[in-house]
C-alpha cells in the first residue's frame, strides 16, 4: 500500500481527535475551577449521551444560574454555544473525512456510493435544489430534534448528494443558530419550559420518526431509481 495514502488516512483520522484534545486541555487551563465541571459535563453529555442540545442546554443554564445567577450571562451563553458548535463541527469533519472508509465494505460501500452519486446527479441539475437542500439541512441542525447533531446531519447531507464543504457550512450555520437561540431563551424565558417541552417520551418519539423518515426517504428514492435503471437495462 502507498505510504502517502496511509499517511493521509491516518492524518484525516487523528487530526480531529488531536484538535479535540487540545480544545479540552485549553478549556481546563483557562476556565475557572467552578465552571470546569459544568462545562465538562455539557461537553461529555452532548458527545456521548442520547440527549440533544434542547435538553442539555437548559440543564446547563440551571447549573450556571445556581452558580452565579445572570451576572455573567453573556459569557455563559458564549461558552455554551462554543461547546455545542465545537462538538457538532468536529464530529462533522471527522465523518466528512472518514465516512468513505465504509465504502471498502462490499455491499455497504456500493449503497453509499450509489446514494451519493444519485443525490449529486439530482442536485447538479438545479441550483435551486442545491440552495434548498442546504437551507433544509441547516434548519434541521438548528431545530431541537434528537438526531439533528453534527454526526447524523452530516450523513444526511452526504447521502443527499451535497458537497462536503456545503455540508460543513450547513452544520456550522445550523449549530450556531440552534444553540444560540436555545441558550438565550433558556436564560430569558425559562429553562423549565424547554425541559417540559422537549424532555419527554412524546418529543423523543417525534424526533426519531422525523430522523427515520429522512433516511427512509433518501433510501427509498435511491431504491426506486436503482430498480428503474435495472428494468431499463433489461
Structural domain boundaries enclosing 226: 3-233
Residue 194 to residue 134: CA distance in whole angstroms: 27
Task: Name the stretches of the chain with pLDDT < 50.
Answer: none
Structural domains in the chain (count): 1
Residue 224 to residue 186: CA distance in whole angstroms: 44
What pLDDT is attached to residue 207? 87
What pLDDT is attached to residue 11? 93
Burial call 75-107: b when 16+ CB within 10 Å, e when fewer: ebbebbbebbbbbbbbbbbbbbbebbeeeeeee
Question: Would you state the torsion angle of the CA atoms of residues 161, 11, 79, 68, taken in this order, to the nearest 10 degrees?
Answer: 140
What pLDDT is attached to residue 229? 67
Tell me, what DSSP letter sits at residue 33? T
What pLDDT is attached to residue 234? 56
What pLDDT is attached to residue 233? 62
Residue 106 to residue 175: CA distance in whole angstroms: 34
**Cβ(115)–Cβ(100) under 8 Å?**
no
pTM over 0.85: yes
Helices 36-48, 53-68: axis angle to 10 degrees equals 170
Amino acid at each position: 500500500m502507498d505510504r502517502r495514502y496511509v499517511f493521509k488516512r491516518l492524518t484525516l483520522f487523528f487530526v480531529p481527535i488531536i484538535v479535540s484534545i487540545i480544545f479540552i486541555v485549553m478549556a481546563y487551563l483557562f476556565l475557572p475551577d467552578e465552571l470546569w465541571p459544568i462545562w465538562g459535563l455539557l461537553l461529555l453529555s452532548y458527545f456521548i449521551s442520547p440527549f440533544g442540545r434542547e435538553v442539555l442546554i437548559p440543564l446547563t443554564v440551571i447549573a450556571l444560574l445556581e452558580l452565579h445567577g445572570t451576572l455573567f450571562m453573556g459569557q455563559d451563553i458564549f461558552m455554551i454555544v462554543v461547546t455545542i458548535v465545537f462538538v457538532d463541527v468536529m464530529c462533522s469533519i471527522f465523518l466528512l473525512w472518514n465516512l468513505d472508509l465504509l465504502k471498502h465494505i462490499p455491499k455497504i460501500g456500493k449503497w453509499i456510493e450509489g446514494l451519493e452519486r444519485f443525490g449529486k446527479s439530482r442536485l447538479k441539475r438545479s441550483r435551486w435544489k442545491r440552495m434548498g437542500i442546504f437551507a433544509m439541512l441547516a434548519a434541521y441542525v438548528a431545530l431541537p430534534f434528537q438526531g439533528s447533531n453534527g454526526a447524523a446531519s452530516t450523513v444526511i447531507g452526504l447521502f443527499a448528494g451535497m458537497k462536503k464543504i456545503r455540508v460543513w457550512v450547513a452544520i456550522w450555520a445550523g449549530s450556531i443558530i440552534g444553540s444560540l437561540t436555545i441558550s438565550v431563551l433558556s436564560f430569558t424565558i425559562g429553562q423549565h419550559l424547554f425541559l417540559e417541552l422537549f424532555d419527554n417520551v412524546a418529543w423523543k418519539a417525534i424526533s426519531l420518526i422525523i430522523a427515520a423518515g429522512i433516511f427512509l426517504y433518501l433510501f427509498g428514492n435511491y431504491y426506486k431509481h436503482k430498480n428503474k435503471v435495472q428494468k431499463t437495462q433489461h
